[in-house]
Amino acid sequence: MKPTAFRRPTASASRTSTARTLLAAGIVAGLALTTACTKSEDSSSTSDKSSSSQADSKQVVASPSTGSGPTCTIGRYGGKKLDLGSATVGFSQSEKEANPFRIAETASIKDEAKKRGVKLLTANAQSQFSKQISDVQDLIAKGADLLVIAPLNSDGWEPVLRAAAARHIPIVTVDRKINATACKDYVSFIGSDFTEQGKRAADQMIEATGGKGEIAILLGAAGNNVTTERTKGFEDRVKEKAPGLKVVFRQTGDFAREKGQSVTENLIQSKPGIKGIYAENDEMGLGAVNALKGAGKKPGDVKIVTIDGTRNAVQGIVDGWIYGVIESNPRFGPLAFSTLDTFTKGSAVSQDIVIQDTSYGKANASSDLGKAY
């Protein structure tokens, strides 16, 4: 039997306001989060990992404390309790699963649904925002009681929010935010502190370059909070700590390897003295490596710092082509489902669930390669 529908209260909830709030008291402390690591698109990658590496690579909340920051409950969102085990969950993936981040993310959602015995409906927007909107509407039409969405863009979600509200369907977003009101339009966002990622990438770039010289930024895709916040964090930290480091080139690589390569090829022609490249994801950074190889550069001639933590990027550190990588952990399955389970049982969950990310450099790239995805 289909679970009892939710009813939304008329009072509006406040917009989420803190960047680092955590799981609320209802979430069971010490939840065991399993990982779902998969092979990347390169044949050089391997999915073999030790059990200790798998345990170490799980998602954890950034600062384990309860009740800090805005939370959401059924009473505020509207509706009645339901059993997650008898519900249908719809998952909307945003991008083509050639990117190791997306491969690992989808695998993690599927693995956790299977582990819990939850019926899961999936869709992939293939990097087309209009398709993602129709995908989610289709998931709703097929009977999804709950939604997990990895948004391609942050804006433009009104059609989906209206359709979900009409059927009282709770929504959790992962890895990117939507510009809407938490605990009104959606329940929670689960993801990294992207501004902090940018700051940490800047620290690595400052270390790599000595804080002087001309550097470039390969921007992520436009229209989402990840690109905006990773850029801001990086540029603010550079201005604060290394005024002698000048950003002289900014161009989007759309989070794609081929685009990152072509942009870097243009960069090398227009700025032959470039000292460093900050790529806002690993795929663009690996594209930059291909461009540098094609131009006859040697490992380390241009310092590259990236964000994600894919197996190939961490191997790039081992090989000398990449200086450092800030992790952005894609294994959302356990945390997304535990959040939905807690919420649908009637307990509070945080509106912002910020995860803790590690980093890779010369000192730990070889030893921690098994933790990458």
| 299, two tokens | 């490992």
Torsion of CA 70, 72, 78, 82, to 10 degrees: 180
d(CA 143, CA 360): 42
Residues of the chain with pLDDT under 70: 1-59, 61-68, 79
Structure tokens at 88: 């249908």
Q: What is the pLDDT of residues 153-209, one digit of tens each?
A: 999 999 999 999 999 999 999 999 999 999 999 999 999 999 999 999 999 999 999
Q: Is 53 exposed, middle or buried (0-12, 13-18, 19+ CB in 10 A)?
A: middle
Predicted local confidence at residue 192, as pLDDT: 96
3-state helix, strand, coil in the chain (%, to 5): 35, 20, 45
Judge if pTM exceeds 0.85.
no
The b/e string for 132-153 (b: 16+ C-beta within 10 A; e otherwise) is bbebbbebbeeebbbbbbbbbb
Positive or negative, the CA dihedral 224, 357, 282, 306 is: positive
pLDDT of residue 57: 62
Query: How do residues 309-357 score in pLDDT, each as one tens digit?
Result: 999 999 999 999 999 999 999 999 999 999 999 999 999 999 999 999 9
Q: Enumerate residues 6+ apart whose C-beta is below 8 A from 51.
A: none
The CA-to-CA distance between both ends of the chain, in Å, stands at 38
pLDDT at 56: 52
